[in-house]
Amino acid sequence: MLKTSSFEEKLRAVVAPENLRAAATGDRVSGALAQWVAEPDDEHQAASVLSLANEAGIAVVPRGGATKLDWGNPPERAELILSTARLNRIVEHAWADLTVTVEAGCTLLALEKTLALHGQRLAFDALWPERATIGGVLSTNDSGALRLRFGALRDLIIGVTIALPEGTLASSGGKVVKNVAGYDLPKLVTGAFGTLGVITRAVFRLHPRPRAAKTFSFTAETFSAIEQHILAIQDSHLAHTALQMRCAAGDLPAADVLFEATDAGIAAEESQLRKLLGSARVEPSSENIWNARQDLWNPPSNDALLAKISLLPTDIAKTLDSLKELSNSRKINWQIVVQATGIGSLRLDAGAAQLSAAAEELRSNLQSRGGALIILRRPQELHSLDAWGNAGDAVSLMRAVKHHLDQKNTLNPGRFAGGI
């Protein structure tokens, strides 16, 4: 543990005494216990705290709602947690322009309640919206089924401000405190797991809330049949907002389609869907079915591995076949939810040794077909298992960007792909 009393004194000169405390057991990051937790009141304080840590050679872990703090690789060092809990304001809702500026510590649920007053929404559906923060979902690039219609977070964010390790604020869009020429900051920090800077605020494009919405579900007798149904829907003229496939070991695969329009429009879409799927039994379903991705995380278990996978939509059946083989050969229980975009969530339940071997085998299968497997959560004894797999040819460029923005490797060292 660090015994840097002078550093602590400098921190207390920046943040109020009540906003700096010793880290407790609940502040562990992938098993590592930090020494301090700082909660700055504004983004300028956040930049100052980060600068002090950078000068002292102290590793910083940014934290929002802590819902995804254990995703990715465990950080090599985690000495100071920089919390955005107090950076929780909705700075400006320009409802006439369909944009919103919001601080990183604001929860998704709080933001949605404000936007709903003007019949608007931020059209992405991250996990645990009541606790997840804007900064956290951007850092982990977490999005769900709405990505099919509205795009990924990189398509919705139009501006960002980040605190850099050197203590300055870099912004794109709006009032600029400092520009970093050559970088598209919103896209750069989205999915960077807090390794380049600490997100302090973001600007998003908004969409109107739908007049009506209705979900329909159906099952198929085989993996290939569910794949063909999904591809047929995607190739059709249906104006669906979301489309996902669900399956678990020993069950028939199922799929869900969401339509958002007027009541008359939804009725027309339903009629076309039934004609397209022929003999498949299509039934109205509860909107809670779109929580299927989140349901994979329950119940919490020390014998579960959760992963994000990507695959070609034409490889859905092959991936399900691979999971069935793993279940038979390694006695592994599995559940999966895959969006029509090819982005999916996977849960594997088994002993640690079986999980490690299964994850590596499945990752190899996916990579051979142009896919990927990123481990989000795994048992403590598997923390040495690389979360990212092959980082590809881009890793050298990623390291160069990291070195340019964070020369002392202050932010989340080792957390990202390629050991960045």
Kindly report, residue by residue over 196-255, the tens digit of the pLDDT.
Answer: 999 999 999 999 999 999 999 999 999 999 999 999 999 999 999 999 999 999 999 999
Average pLDDT value for residue range 396-404: 93
**What distances in angstroms separate CA 36 from CA 33, 270, 355, one per listed residue?**
9, 55, 34
Asked whether the beta carbons of 297 and 378 are under 8 A apart, the reply is no
Tell me the two tokens of residue 187.
């896209």
For 364-384, letters b (16+ CB in 10 Å) and e give ebbeeeebbbbbbbbbeebee
pLDDT-derived band of residue 1, with 50, 70 and 90 as boundaries?
Answer: very low
- Class of the domain covering 212-241+251-290: alpha beta
Q: What is the CATH topology of the domain spanning 5-85+407-419? A: 3.30.43
Amino acid at 396: S
E-strand stretches of 249-381: 254-261, 283-285, 304-310, 333-339, 343-349, 372-377
Model confidence at 30: pLDDT above 90: no
Asked whether the beta carbons of 200 and 97 are under 8 A apart, the reply is no
CA-to-CA distance for 48 and 234, rounded, in angstroms?
Answer: 49
For 265-299, letters b (16+ CB in 10 Å) and e give ebeebbeebeebbeebebeebeeebbebbbebbee
Check residue 120 and give its pLDDT.
98
DSSP code of residue 419: G
Kindly report, residue by residue over 103-146, the tens digit of the pLDDT.
Answer: 999 999 999 999 999 999 999 999 999 999 999 999 999 989 99
Location of structure tokens 């102290």: 58
DSSP code of residue 285: E
Average pLDDT value for residue range 263-280: 97
Check residue 4 and give its pLDDT.
58
Q: Nearest-CA neighbor of 282 among 259, 314, 312?
A: 259
Tell me the two tokens of residue 135.
């900064």
Kindly report, residue by residue over 289-328, the tens digit of the pLDDT.
Answer: 999 999 999 998 888 999 999 999 999 999 999 999 999 8
Model confidence at 400: pLDDT above 70: yes
Check residue 50 and give its pLDDT.
98
Cα 376–54–390 angle (5° rounding)? 30
Model confidence at 57: pLDDT above 90: yes
Q: What is the CATH topology of the domain spanning 90-208? A: 3.30.465
Asked whether the beta carbons of 42 and 91 are under 8 A apart, the reply is no
Q: What does pTM read for this prediction?
A: 0.92
Kindly report, residue by residue over 359-374, the tens digit of the pLDDT.
Answer: 999 999 999 999 999 9
5-85+407-419 and 294-382 have identical folds: no
Average pLDDT, the chain: 93
- Class of the domain covering 294-382: alpha beta
For the chain, what are the domain ranges?
5-85+407-419, 90-208, 212-241+251-290, 294-382
Average pLDDT value for residue range 82-98: 97
Q: Nearest-CA neighbor of 141 among 368, 416, 380, 378?
A: 416
More confident residue, 28 or 392: 28
Kindly report, residue by residue over 169-191, the tens digit of the pLDDT.
Answer: 999 865 334 445 556 889 999 99
